[in-house]
Amino acid sequence: MPLTRICGKHPGGLGRPMADVSPVHPVCRSSVAIDAGSPSLPTNKPLSNAMLIAETAKSADPSSWSAESEQPLQPGGLGHAVPSSVDPADCRDAAVPRRQSDAGFWSDVLVLSKPRIVTMILVTTVATAMIGAALRPEGTGGLSVVAMLWLLIGTGGVAASAGAANQIWERVIDRRMVRTSGRPLPAGRMSAAAAIGWALFWGLGGTVLLWAMFGAAPAIVGIATWALYVLVYTPMKTRTAWNTTVGAVAGALPVLMGFTAAGGRLADPTPWLLFGVLAAWQYPHFMSIAWLYRRQYKEAGFCMTTGSDPTGRSAAIQSLIGTLAIAGCGLVLCLQGGLVWWNIAGALAVLAACWPLWKASCRFAACPADDISRTMLRSSLLTLPAVLLVTTVCILASA
């Protein structure tokens, strides 16, 4: 069996190569055996040029070699050869996977819950609960701070459960998209069992809380929202472009949760007009996202309008219709309390809030492009809270 020496047979001087050098195999520093009579090479600090030349010259002298320094090499781990007398554990790769920190786990749990969607739902819940309390049969009133907190916890729990269940369902497809491949499940940072446990905890807990604190109506609406989003909308995304319509309905149903929890009646047209605002808003918002990620959606197997119609015409038409519907529902919500100055001012404010989104949708219809789609997306994020704020103020002022 061939022997491996640490350096060549003859020392070389500065500026000239060493002659007749034996083959050198990569070894770990800790595995190099030095004769007890020769100075050992320090492993924790760099060598100077003079020290390196001296050590090289000494080790190049055959008489200074000991039998221990000429040990046959055996295959080692990680592509390195290791002397037989050395424990392979000494050469173990330092990059050992470490257990995920608690902060990292809770960060992944937050991502699993889709916090942006939950935040939007909670904002609309607060607005509609205030409106429902003002329009309830008993007269003008409002929920207590504690009751509002319970409502937000219950509604947020159902919404977080739906978001987690959606990611559990799509965890395999999410690996195919750059946009979603970093999520906890496709990235392998969280097990499906843990995600299912989280979804069940908040889904059941949120529903029970809503039923116990506010009655059957908001709890039933919450169950319907969860079922429509997870069991209908999610599988439809890989089958038909009509999934956006189903998703729009599911995304708008939480309006009814807040309204009924505050004592409002579903026979009143107000909650349905608010439902119309939320449902219509989904179209320009999600059409802009579908356009920006159209290639990824198509490669992953999702059926989106921007995939079936790559010209962008269908997406533009749906965005324009959605923006018009937002403005129409907002105008009715403001003016249904009478033609008083604050309602008229509110109606004008609704039109002003919808104008940037309408303008961006028209530009997208004329020339579909990524930069215009981003403008449409940003405009949608401003339009919805502005319209909700204005309509809420008008309704409360007229109640």
Read off the CATH number of the domain in which 258 is found: 1.10.357.140
Q: Within this chain, do residues 135 and 64 fall inside the same structural domain, yes or no?
A: no
Q: Within this chain, do residues 351 and 328 fall inside the same structural domain, yes or no?
A: yes
CA 338 to chain CA centroid, nearest Å: 44
Pair 226, 159: CB distance under 8 Å: no
Q: Cβ-count burial of 232 within 10 angstroms (0-12 exposed, 13-18 middle, 19+ buried)?
A: middle
Q: Within this chain, do residues 276 and 151 fall inside the same structural domain, yes or no?
A: no
* pLDDT given at position 232: 96
Give the residue ranges of the chain where pLDDT is below 50.
1-47, 52-53, 56, 60, 62-98, 140
Q: Which amino acid is at 347?
A: A
The number of distinct structural domains making up the chain is: 3
46 domain residue, yes or no: yes
Comparing C-alpha atoms, which of 306, 303, 307, 213 is closest to residue 261? 213
Last residue of a domain, one of 266, 292, 325: 266
Q: Within this chain, do residues 44 and 193 fall inside the same structural domain, yes or no?
A: no
* pLDDT given at position 358: 97
122 domain residue, yes or no: yes
What element of type H or E holds 343?
helix 341-366
Q: How far apart are the first and last CA of the chain?
A: 96
99 domain residue, yes or no: no
Last residue of a domain, one of 94, 123, 157: 94
Q: By residue range, what is the domain housing residue 85?
A: 1-94
Taking only the tens place, the pLDDT of each residue in 6-58 is 444 444 444 444 444 444 444 444 444 444 444 444 444 444 555 544 554 55
Q: Within this chain, do residues 312 and 248 fall inside the same structural domain, yes or no?
A: no
- H-state helical runs in the chain: 49-60, 102-112, 115-135, 145-169, 171-174, 184-187, 192-214, 216-227, 234-236, 243-252, 254-261, 269-292, 294-300, 305-308, 313-335, 341-366, 370-398
Dihedral pair phi/psi, residue 32, rounded to 5°: -75, 120
Last residue of a domain, one of 52, 76, 94: 94
Read off the CATH number of the domain in which 340 is found: 1.20.120
- Which residues are CB-neighbours of 212 under 8 A, at least 6 positions away? none
Q: Within this chain, do residues 216 and 302 fall inside the same structural domain, yes or no?
A: no
Q: Within this chain, do residues 250 and 274 fall inside the same structural domain, yes or no?
A: no
Q: What 3-state DSSP class applies to 23? A: coil
Q: Within this chain, do residues 57 and 198 fall inside the same structural domain, yes or no?
A: no
Going 3 to 4 to 5 to 10, the CA torsion angle's sign is positive
Q: Is the pTM of this model over 0.85?
A: no
